[in-house]
Structure 1
Amino acid sequence: MKKCFGILLLCLFAFNACEKDDFCTTTPVTPNLVIRFYDKDDITAVKSVPRLSVIAQSKTDSLISTRTLDSIAIPLNGLASETVYLLKMNDAEGNLADNKVDTLTITYTPEEDYISRSCGFRYVFDDVTLTVTNSWIERLSNNSIPEINHQIQSHVQIFH
């Protein structure tokens, strides 16, 4: 009887020590800043940017290089309170004299958002402010965004 009780007690402790598997079933992503480009004369018309390049300040590699796009999603640095990008448009292929470069400065307050033990953290960006030098960019739809916590739709529209 003592042996059965001992084996039963051992089994009870063994099964009690097991931990439920904890897999991240969601895909929490630190959201990118989503920008959509529009025609400055017809604010409802989407307008692609010819040969767009996006380069982070003080970097040599491009995030996007000479592609014609009507929208982009660019990452923000969760370990800093400011991210600066150079947005370069070229009207004629291969002609450096036709390059038009604007500087997009994004300031924000990064905040860690706890998802779960298995998924970990992601960053959410609060009090986002955008400023741009005007070379080929005419204006922004808004200069401030209360919070960036998704990348489902565009956060800001650029008119050019």
Structure 2
Amino acid sequence: MKKLKFTFLLLLVALISCERDDICAETTPTTPRLMVEFYDATETEELKPVTRLTAYGEGLANNPTNDNTEGTLVYNTNATAIELPLLIGNEGEITTSRFILEKDTNLRLDEDVDTDSNIDIIEISYETEFVYVSRACGYKSIFKNLQVSFETSDDGAWISGIEVVDTVEIVENENTVHVRILH
């Protein structure tokens, strides 16, 4: 009987001393990715898919050949939008991320040497700021002072323009479009 009382007392103490779990809920917003949508260059309010788009971070992949290639964000798919992960730099300092956007990837992959894909590079500069979320989740990063530009490959640009959405001063969630690419 003493063992039963001791076990019951130990269990009671364990239950009373429990605190709520310090688990970060999946619904808690964390560090956002940059939301990019592709629009028609002539009808600037109409979404226009990029044919056979492959996107990857500069220096992370080199001419990926399948969607399992490390560093590949999107592989050989028609897309009207992509999400780009930004590097988290030191707070208050300008950080730059570069992404390679390859249109018509299927032309690079085929055996015809007379056809090739078209590669443009977008460069994104921003300031990182750390924001406290909660004890369980810790900090998340947000990105301020967003600037976006693009470079073209030798075979010409498929991107005709890039716009940072006017209402975006701070990239802090993934529910809105941050950048529009015209093509």
Which one has a larger percent strand, Structure 1 or Structure 2?
Answer: 1
Separation (CA, whole Å) in 2 of partners of 1:142 and 1:63: 21
In structure 1, runs of 5+ residues without a counterpart are 1-13
2:79 counterpart of 1:69: yes
Of 134-143 and 68-77, deviating more is 134-143
Alpha-carbon distance in structure 2 between the residues aligned to 1:82 and 1:141: 17
Calculate the TM-score normalised by the size of structure 1: 0.81
SS at match of 2:169: strand
Shift of 1:143: 8.2
Q: More displaced, 90-99 or 35-44?
A: 90-99
Alignment partner, residue 134 of structure 2: 116
Question: How many pairs are equivalent?
Answer: 147
Deviation at 1:119, TM superposition (A): 1.0
In structure 2, the partner of 1:20 is 19
Once the two structures are superposed, the pairs formed by residues 35-114 of structure 1 within 5 Å of their partners are 35-60=36-61, 61=70, 62-79=72-89, 81-90=95-104, 93=107, 94=110, 97-114=115-132
* TM value normalised by structure 2: 0.71
Corresponding residue number in structure 2 for 1:159: 182
Partners of 2:128 and 2:106 lie apart in 1 by 38
TM-aligned CA deviation for residue 19 of structure 1: 5.8
Q: CA RMSD in A?
A: 2.4
Gaps of 5+ in 2: 1-12, 62-69
- Structure 1 pair 143–155 and aligned structure 2 pair: CA distance change class (3 A): closer
1-structure distance, mates of 2:18, 2:130: 27
